[in-house]
Amino acid sequence: MSTKKEATNYSVIVGYCRTAFAKTSMAGSGKAPGVFGDVDPVDMQVPLVNELLDRSGVDPKDVKKILTGAVHQEYTQGLNIARLIAMHKDCKLENSTGGTTLDRFCGSSMEAIAMADGFIARNPNHVYICTGVQSMSQVPMGGINPHLADGVMEGNAAAFMDMPTTAENLRKMYNISSEEMSSFAAESHRRLKAAQENGHFKNEIVSLKGLDLDDGGRFDTTTESLESLRAKKPGAFAAATSSQITDGASAVMVTSEAFAADNNLPVLARIISFGESGLAPEIMGLGPVEAAKDALQKAGLSMDDMDVIELNEAFAAQSLAVLKEWDKQGMGIDPAKVNVDGGAISMGHPLGASGARIVGHVAEVLQRENKRYGLATMCIGGGQGVAMIVENPNAAPKPGM
Amino acid sequence: MARDIKKVGVLGAGTMGSGIAALLAKAGVEVVLLDKFEGFADKAVDRMVKAKVTDAFNAGFMTADHAKFIKTGTTDNNLQDLADCDWIIETILVPDPKIRQDLYKEVQKIAKPDAIFSSNTSMDTTGEMTVDQDDDFKSRFANTHFFNPPPTMALLEIIRGEKTDPDVVKALEDFGDKVLGKKVVECKDERGFIANRIGMFFLERVLKEMENSDFGIEDADAILSQAFGFPLGPFRLGDEVGLDVVDHVRSDFHESLPEGDHFQEIFTGNDDLRQMLKDGYVGNRKADSKGGYYRKKTEDGKPVKDERGKTIIQARNLETGDYADSQKSDFYKFDKQIKKYRGFDKFFDSGDPASEFAWPILRDSLIYVLDHAEELAFDVQAVDDAMRAGYNWNYGPFELLDKFGVEWFTNKLEEEGIAAPALLEKANGQPFYQELDALDGVGKDLMVRHFDGSFLPIRREEGVLSLEDIKRKSEPLLTHNSASLWDIGDGVACLEFTSKENTIDPSVLYVMNESIKLISESDGEYKGMVIYNDGVRFSVGANLALVEVFMHAAEGNWGEIIPGKLDQKWENRIKKYANMFGIDKAADNALKPLVHELVYQGQSVYTALQQAPFPVVGAPKGQAPKSAQTVNLAVGGGCEVLLNCDAVVSGPDQVMALPEIAIGVLPAWTGSTRYLQRSFNREGQFKGPMAPVKEAAATLGNPALGAATSAQDAKKKMWLRPDDTIVMNPDRVLAEAKAKVLEMAPDYKPEPLPTFRLGGSGSANMIRQDVERMYEAAKDNPSPNNVNHVDIRSADRLARVLTGGDTLKPEDVDHHVASNQQQIKDLASQSPSGHLKVNPTIEFNYSRMMQLERDGFMTGFFDKQYTWPRVHYTVAKGGYLREPIPENPPTAKEMRDTVERLEMPRRDVTGQPLSGDDAKKLKAMADMTGEFYKQNGLRGKPGDLQPLRTLNSIRRVMKLI
């Protein structure tokens, strides 16, 4: 290892990749599973970890720990799956890399990156690999053996409220029309198609079982076609305007800026701040509103500074409600900046994997478009929100700055 | 040479071809389905997989799993796939027989040299079909004529040609009977074979009569249906079969039958029907059809509905070809109306308009049968078999003739100056079917007259065991009002239910209890028991109507108990009487212990059935339904019997379900527990206290989704075990079940009673949350199919049972806990609350589950405000009451928290048959049930009770409890 530079306060993302997101049917639904239906969640992640090691050339000994976000840690996602990655016969990591699995529902793998950021503040010479994974084919939403304690049942049992109902609540609160939802969803599919055609996922997707692009895109989708689909199932419940049930995994390599410089690692983005919010479970979809404000405040930036935004598309109604609320609070943003390459409605939302995907993808887009600041934010079932702001240190400064 | 059929090729993916492929796939046979047109076979398979069971167009009888047995393709590209087929069926409709002949030649080049060939057509005789072929081919060729839709219609007509090898016929008969489950009838090689020849004459005769009648088609359909054992009126039948098919068959008869055939005389011409087809009226089996003789009223292509939301149906005026809103005929439910004549003879002699219409049609149709039977069939029974299995007639024509009275019919013809057919003269005024001294000298056999006038016993296929035959020749081992136990030979007993729709009542439980004792104490003379009956339904479950009598008594609703019989004066008088003797009060007081006793009896006897030291095999016949009213149900208490059998042998179309929750109670004759046990034991099930519970709650909480619509479906939904047997031919179920008993009997040991580790309220809360969420969604989108406020209460009770209850008291530990009793008792007594919260560290025994079932059932049943209206509704109308959600909907919590929970006295369910006082009580209740029915001259239908005797019966049952 070369001579050490003084560490800055920033952690940096030095690698990001993911599997394609493969659409599937929920475990227990009895419907046919998708391409990754038979893939163990640990098998989805090992190729990603190896890819990050190969790309960066980081010595496996320097990887202190894997932090894995996975929602419902049971069955194939059980037994501290983060540690199991290192135990896998094909994994290039050794016994010396530890593993922690964490669950913050949809925010899990963004939380993993935030945790790594915290560790790095203390341990700038370590590398962390933050992964997220979800086999919705194998572990149903709500888990296999759910339990609701009497005290919560009599307290706020809405924490266990199902997600479509929360989206429906927002649809009513914000008077969101069916057409708005359809048009939002159609745009998601259109952008995914364009991004795939332009090869925008070449860097990030690692081929698995021959799948090298997200397979949930319905490219003949139009607002009108969705409207006719939705006629059968109105409200926010409709599958056509909700994120898709998918299997997939994502991974981000994080270290200190100093370690990256010492080892000539390519910096995709600096992690500037992490914001969080808590709110009533019935309207959990608004989680990003306050979480983003929290993150912006900590970063000393404003929404106008954001060049690229990933707002996880849990539901069309939910995303639209967030945009409307920001607007109302004077934080309105140009929809063209939001989810430039499509989102969960078109590419899917494998719960545990989405957080690392949107952070990693913001970094990708900042690089690609030579832009400076990006925001990744998402709502979390039970009534929470998380947001992360990253900066492309190599971007040309904004005019006037 | 024995021939084995493993793989079958089907040529043509039209209605019949794809239907035959579906039938084969359902039977687990590999199929190659080829059509001339690209993609056609795929589309047919796809259509059938997607269709609902009730979808008239496609009769969806195939699951996606079945579809995997079918390989599709075209005759141009994929003929090679037929190379390893043992049997190749051609189902194509071609104007030119040469096309068929050429296709046969093409296929022969590829097919195995010993492959069997057959055609599904009934339009050409076997002789005509093979004119161009060599003798080797002719020896391997026969006609195999299925009926539409092949998966559900029971008949398979087989016709051999002059040169057909008898082994080929035998192979087809065996395969059709045993593998496909068909009623195989061999026919002579004549035009139309048996069923279409007779059935089409009947339809044509109706058309002919309509020319001279003022009746509309609704009248014709009302008169000529159930009253004479026809499942549908003739015009409805035409629509169901498909008018294109009807046109095809009748015009062919017109062209091919000889001049003197009576069909030619009554033929009404092609014009009307051809016009209908041209106008797009093809009947109900084609998706793009506009309808048939009946159609849906439409405006701008959309169906028009009446004020109750039902689509308005229009009927065709045969004279003008116009359609008008269908009218309820004066002869609606004619099967009921005709009873007032007290006999078919008196009806026909009455000269009433209905008889004036029906008589010439039925007369000429029966004459046609008598004239042509010997030409078409090998014996009289074959004619009746074919019409029952192929046209779903309840009675074959000869049986119908017996019902009319052969002597009366003969005289009537003479009166009308019509010459008697030769076969009728041979009958000499005597019935065609008679019970005569058996040939083996034991009792009587049912015999049927042959063409030469002699009698021979009814023919049963080899290996078929008929309970009816056994009953005719022997006395029951045990019998009581609603059930009997029969010796079916080789040391096997058969328990038969005999109540109306085979409802379960104390009399059934009594015979079941005594049967267990009799067989256990028989010193090995009896090795086991089959539970079987020949009824339309295996069993519709507990006799709700019987319980309802007591409910009405408790409510003082005497007018309801004796409907239609009481004027106000009488009702008041009875009320006075009831009041004087304290019956209404006594009924109210006694109802709780009475219902509780009945629930406990069912639990005990059913469990004893499973725990008996001999194998018990449930044998629901699972015959295909002839109408919505004849679906073979094993539901509620009937389903619970099967859940307690050590093995089940089922026919293919058995429907199984536990729909108790729909009337506000829950399965409490062991059903909730037994289903939960299956869910825990399911292969691939997750460990943990909740995963199996979720599955059980989904099935028991939503009977519409949880119901099995067939035996295959029942395996998927755990009503049947994976290794239970499905027998395709319902007539073979009894023999297979008996064989199963004998197979299991050596070294038989009952499976021990299950124990459970459950999650208590934490698990129940998840179910409550799920239901609450559905309720919240339903508030915005009210529909009878969605969860309503009353369902919240039922679901709460079910959740409590499936998750083991909330708490465990120290004094219940000995009754309810299977292991570590002392430690658990200590923990419970030391707990500040005085009890333990239920959790998976406690292993509950079976008695605990029975206790929870009883508590849950009683809580539900005595939730009078909500449950009783549901019970009354179901007894009166047969469906389920769906209360609309109130204007200001209560919260789910309000609905849950206002249930008054009952805890019934602790009683253990041990697996032993009831004995001592419990057995005496059961006997007394059984006697009372029997008396109840007998007094009123009815078996199992207490709807029409004699007032004073009813009151006395109620009093006596009350005293007992």
For A90-204, where are the E strands, in sequence order? 98-102, 127-135
Q: Are B238 and B283 in contact (CB under 8 A)?
A: yes
Residues B835, B799, single domain; the answer is: yes
What are the pLDDT digits (tens) for B591-641? 888 899 999 999 999 999 999 999 999 999 999 887 777 889 999 999 999
| pLDDT of B941 | 44
Share of chain A above pLDDT 70, in %: 96
> Is B453 within the bounds of a domain?
no
Predicted TM-score (pTM) of this structure = 0.87
| pLDDT of A2 | 39
> Is B509 within the bounds of a domain?
yes
Tokens (6 digits) for B280 = 């797009």
| pLDDT of B942 | 41
- 3 state DSSP class of A204: coil
Cβ of A147 and B768 within 8 Å?
no
Give B-chain residues touching A144 at CB under 8 angstroms. 686, 688, 690-691
Give B-chain residues touching A149 at CB under 8 angstroms. 762, 765
Give yes or no: A361 in active site. Answer: no
| pLDDT of B2 | 57
Instruction: Report DSSP state, residue B62.
Output: -
Give B-chain residues touching A147 at CB under 8 angstroms. 690, 759, 762-763, 765-766
Final residue of a structural domain among B160, B186, B212: B186
> Is B455 within the bounds of a domain?
no
Between B947 and B750, the more confident residue is B750
Cβ of A145 and B769 within 8 Å?
no
Share of chain A above pLDDT 90, in %: 85
Which chain A residue is nearest to residue B766, measuring alpha carbons? A148
Give A-chain residues touching B682 at CB under 8 angstroms. none
| pLDDT of B960 | 61
Nearest to A249 by CA among A399, A349, A141: A349
Between B778 and A45, the more confident residue is A45
Dihedral through CA B282, CA B285, CA B289, CA B294, nearest 10?
A: 70
> What is the domain-level CATH number for residue B121?
3.40.50.720
Structural domains of chain A, count = 1
- Residue B228 CA to residue B338 CA, distance in Å, equals 10
**Residues 685-704 of chain B whose Cβ lies under 8 A from any Cβ of chain A:** 686, 688-691, 694
Residues B364, B231, single domain; the answer is: yes
CA distances, B852 to each of B128, B505, B885, B903 (Å): 69, 22, 29, 9
Enclosing domain of residue A334: 157-199+272-391
> What is the domain-level CATH number for residue B353?
1.10.1040.10
- Residue B354 CA to residue A193 CA, distance in Å, equals 70
Instruction: Report DSSP state, residue B53.
Output: T
Catalytic residue among A91, A106, A189, A361: A106
Give B-chain residues touching A169 at CB under 8 angstroms. none
| pLDDT of B943 | 44
Residues B690, B712, single domain; the answer is: no
* Mean pLDDT, rounded, for B523-529: 96
> Is A48 within the bounds of a domain?
no
Instruction: Report DSSP state, residue B335.
Output: H
Cβ of B773 and A157 within 8 Å?
no
* Mean pLDDT, rounded, for B694-706: 93
> What is the domain-level CATH number for residue B531?
3.90.226.10
- 3 state DSSP class of A181: helix
> Is B937 within the bounds of a domain?
yes
Structural domains of chain B, count = 4
Dihedral through CA B859, CA B863, CA B869, CA B872, nearest 10?
A: 30
- Residue B98 CA to residue B105 CA, distance in Å, equals 11
Residues B148, B290, single domain; the answer is: no
Residues B760, B737, single domain; the answer is: no
Cβ of B773 and A162 within 8 Å?
yes
Between B710 and B126, the more confident residue is B710
- Residue A244 CA to residue B239 CA, distance in Å, equals 44
| Largest interatomic CA distance in chain B | 98
* Three-state SS letters, B690-703: CHHHHHHHHHHHCH
> Is A106 within the bounds of a domain?
no
Alpha-carbon Rg for chain A in angstroms: 20
Q: Are A382 and A159 in contact (CB under 8 A)?
A: yes
Residues B771, B648, single domain; the answer is: no
Which amino acid, one-letter code, is at B551? M
Neighbour-count burial for A120-155, b at 16+ CB within 10 Å, e otherwise = beebbebbbbbbbbbbbbbbbbbbbbbbbeeebbee
> Is B544 within the bounds of a domain?
yes
> Is A212 within the bounds of a domain?
no
Q: How remote is the C-alpha of A53 from its chain's centroid?
A: 21
Give B-chain residues touching A142 at CB under 8 angstroms. 766
Closest Cβ–Cβ partner in B765, B777, B781 for A148: B765
> Is B405 within the bounds of a domain?
no
For B703-780, where are the E strands, in sequence order? 725-726
- 3 state DSSP class of B377: strand
- 3 state DSSP class of B730: helix
- Residue B696 CA to residue B690 CA, distance in Å, equals 10
Q: How remote is the C-alpha of B736 from its chain's centroid?
A: 19
Tokens (6 digits) for B112 = 């195995």
Q: Bridge-partner residues for B656, per DSSP?
A: B634, B708
pLDDT at B473 over 90: no
Sheet with B87-90: strands ordered across:
B70-74, B30-35, B7-11, B87-90, B116-119, B141-146, B155-160, B183-186
What are the pLDDT digits (tens) for B753-762? 999 999 999 9
Q: How confident is the model at residue A227 (pLDDT cuts 50, 70, 90)?
A: confident
**Residues 476-505 of chain B whose Cβ lies under 8 A from any Cβ of chain A:** none
Dihedral through CA A118, CA A120, CA A126, CA A127, nearest 10?
A: 70
Q: How confident is the model at residue A9 (pLDDT cuts 50, 70, 90)?
A: confident
Tokens (6 digits) for A62 = 């320097």
pLDDT at B961 over 70: no
Region label for A9, one of left (φ > 0), alpha (ψ between -120 and 50) or beta (otherwise)? alpha
What are the pLDDT digits (tens) for B810-864? 999 999 999 999 999 999 999 999 999 999 999 999 999 999 999 999 999 999 9
Tell me how long chain B is. Answer: 961
> What is the domain-level CATH number for residue A335?
3.40.47.10
Cβ of A145 and B762 within 8 Å?
no
- Residue A245 CA to residue A37 CA, distance in Å, equals 11
pLDDT at B193 over 80: yes
> Is B473 within the bounds of a domain?
no
B33–chain A nearest CA distance, Å: 24
Q: How confident is the model at residue B197 (pLDDT cuts 50, 70, 90)?
A: very high
For residue A57, the tally of other CB atoms under 10 A from its CB is 9
- 3 state DSSP class of B780: helix
Q: Going by C-beta distance under 8 Å and a sequence separation of 6 or more, which residues neighbour residue B145?
A: B120, B121, B122, B156, B157, B158, B159, B187, B193
Nearest 5°: the CA angle B192, B195, B201 is: 75
> Is A312 within the bounds of a domain?
yes
- 3 state DSSP class of B237: helix
Cβ of A147 and B763 within 8 Å?
yes
Residues B683, B712, single domain; the answer is: no
- Residue B684 CA to residue B876 CA, distance in Å, equals 43
Cβ of B769 and A153 within 8 Å?
yes
Enclosing domain of residue B523: 478-659+707-753+911-960
Residues B840, B946, single domain; the answer is: no
Helix (H) or strand (E) holding B449: strand B444-449
Nearest to B144 by CA among B164, B152, B132: B164
For residue A258, the tally of other CB atoms under 10 A from its CB is 18
- Residue B589 CA to residue B958 CA, distance in Å, equals 9
- Residue B12 CA to residue B68 CA, distance in Å, equals 18
> Is A323 within the bounds of a domain?
yes
> Is A294 within the bounds of a domain?
yes
A221–chain B nearest CA distance, Å: 24
- Residue B883 CA to residue B783 CA, distance in Å, equals 10
> Is A41 within the bounds of a domain?
no
Residues B175, B243, single domain; the answer is: no
- 3 state DSSP class of B839: coil
A390–chain B nearest CA distance, Å: 38
- Phi, psi of B563, deg, nearest 5: -65, 140
Cβ of B769 and A160 within 8 Å?
yes
| pLDDT of B227 | 94
Final residue of a structural domain among B366, B391, B416: B391
Q: How confident is the model at residue B662 (pLDDT cuts 50, 70, 90)?
A: very high
* Mean pLDDT, rounded, for A217-229: 88
Helix (H) or strand (E) holding B574: helix B568-580
> Is B70 within the bounds of a domain?
yes
- Residue B203 CA to residue B221 CA, distance in Å, equals 11
For residue B856, the tally of other CB atoms under 10 A from its CB is 28
Q: Going by C-beta distance under 8 Å and a sequence separation of 6 or more, which residues neighbour residue B522?
A: none
Residues B822, B919, single domain; the answer is: no
- Residue B123 CA to residue B193 CA, distance in Å, equals 9
Q: How remote is the C-alpha of B150 from its chain's centroid?
A: 17
Nearest to A385 by CA among A119, A172, A166, A131: A166
Residues B152, B272, single domain; the answer is: no
Closest Cβ–Cβ partner in B766, B773, B777 for A146: B766
> Is A166 within the bounds of a domain?
yes
| pLDDT of B468 | 92
Which chain A residue is nearest to residue B763, measuring alpha carbons? A147
Q: Comparing B347-356, B377-386, B834-843, B870-879, which segment has the lowest mean pLDDT?
A: B870-879
pLDDT at A297 over 80: yes
**Whole-complex ipTM:** 0.84
Residues B182, B244, single domain; the answer is: no
For residue A17, the tally of other CB atoms under 10 A from its CB is 23
Give yes or no: A17 in active site. Answer: no
Give A-chain residues touching B690 at CB under 8 angstroms. 144-147
* Residue-wise DSSP of B507-552: HHHHHHHHHHHHHHTSTTS--EEEEE--SSSSB-EE-HHHHHHHHH
* Mean pLDDT, rounded, for A99-118: 97
Which chain B residue is nearest to residue A236, measuring alpha carbons? B777
| pLDDT of B58 | 44
A→B contacts (Cβ < 8 Å), by residue, are 28, 75, 142, 144-150, 152-153, 157, 160-162, 165, 168, 235, 237
The residue assigned the tokens 């925001």 is A375
Share of chain B above pLDDT 70, in %: 94
